[in-house]
Amino acid sequence: MGEIWVLVDTSQGVIRNVTYEVLTAARKLKEKNGATIAAVYVGDEAGSIEEDLSKYGAEKIYKIENPTLKDFNASAHAHALAETIKKHNPDIILAGNTLQNQDFLPRVASRTSSGLSFDAIDIDINSSSTLQVKRYRYSGKSISTISYHDVKPMIATLRPNAFKPVENQTSAEVINESIDVPAENNMKVLETKIIPKERPELTEADKIVSGGRGMANGDNFKLIFDIADSIGAAAGASRAAVDSGFVPYEMQVGQTGKVVSPNLYVAVGISGSVQHYAGMGSSTIIVAINKDPDAPIFQKCDYGICGDLFEVIPALTEEFKNLS
């Protein structure tokens, strides 16, 4: 049987949780076609990643290491991965739907004449081992199934939190790949500034509390931060709140912001536009807090509180703190 590759996503030297989610999704395919699951690292120094990756089912680990890959460069990373693909010919390549993968995987697909689909919420294979990808369409109003035809490899990214990571200990074979990166693919990174984050990353968070235009101003977002911290959640915002200058764009959830899939999403002072729902509609449980009983969000939530957020949020925050 062939191989299913899972790209290893890292952040500041630590494997991101979405990698384990994708490894779990890959095992779903393996149950049908018996393929070998391989984790693929592209970067400078992988270090001792074998134990963590094999814990979630990786049977092979390809380490594509080169000093020129230390800082992310879409062209250089695409070259390194594409050359390794041509050498080993995997059947399927899966990755998290992260900004980095969205950036360089189209280049990989072009270099290898592969098929590529982004932001899958589920994957499967048919009797001929053809990859089938389910993804939202029309701002989350429907789900389409995309099938690949006569292409190899079949590449897809999976929405974070679409799969719950499940451990499945294996013994992994490590394969070290030496790839030369041509000078024309290199760029020099002068400086990297990491902004310290007090809360979980939105796209990987299990719980999210978001504020909208109803927050009235940026200072009032302290209420969002307080309730988020009380339950260990990430803090987000609607486009209306971002456009109003209440909070920075990096907090925006929605069709033109970040797409999230937490187990719990709390929408505070958010009307519930189609564009916002497209970014959080796949959340397991949606809670809405809004003083307008006719707000569209109440038609889409699992639980709703119709009331003044400036009274509801402090009360909820206090209750959550008492429970912790």
Question: What is the reported pLDDT for 261?
Answer: 87
Task: For residue 1, name the pLDDT band (cuts at 50, 70, 90).
Answer: low
What confidence tens digit (pLDDT) does each residue in 212-224 have?
999 999 999 999 9
* DSSP 8-state code for residue 140: T
* Under 8 Å between Cβ of 248 and 189: no
Sign of CA dihedral 240, 242, 243, 245: positive
Domain total in the chain = 2
Q: Is residue 197 part of a domain?
A: no
* Under 8 Å between Cβ of 58 and 23: yes
Q: Is residue 276 part of a domain?
A: yes
Mean pLDDT calculated for residue range 255-277: 92
Q: What is the mean pLDDT of the chain?
A: 92
Mean pLDDT calculated for residue range 266-271: 97
Q: Is residue 249 part of a domain?
A: yes
Mean pLDDT calculated for residue range 99-116: 95
Task: Examine the domain organization and report whether 13 and 79 are in the same domain.
Answer: yes
Q: Is residue 192 part of a domain?
A: no
β-pair partners for 115: 154
Q: Is residue 195 part of a domain?
A: no
Rounded-to-integer distance, Cα 10 and Cα 43, Å: 9
Task: For residue 136, name the pLDDT band (cuts at 50, 70, 90).
Answer: confident
Domain boundary among 139, 156, 185: 185
Domain boundary among 136, 160, 185: 185
What count of other Cβ atoms lies within 10 Å of the Cβ of residue 26?
A: 27
Question: What is the reported pLDDT for 25?
Answer: 96
Q: Which amino acid is present at 286?
A: I
For residue 149, pLDDT beyond 90: no
Mean pLDDT calculated for residue range 115-144: 89
What confidence tens digit (pLDDT) does each residue in 173-192 have?
999 998 888 877 667 778 77
Q: Is residue 50 part of a domain?
A: yes
Domain of residue 317 covers 202-323
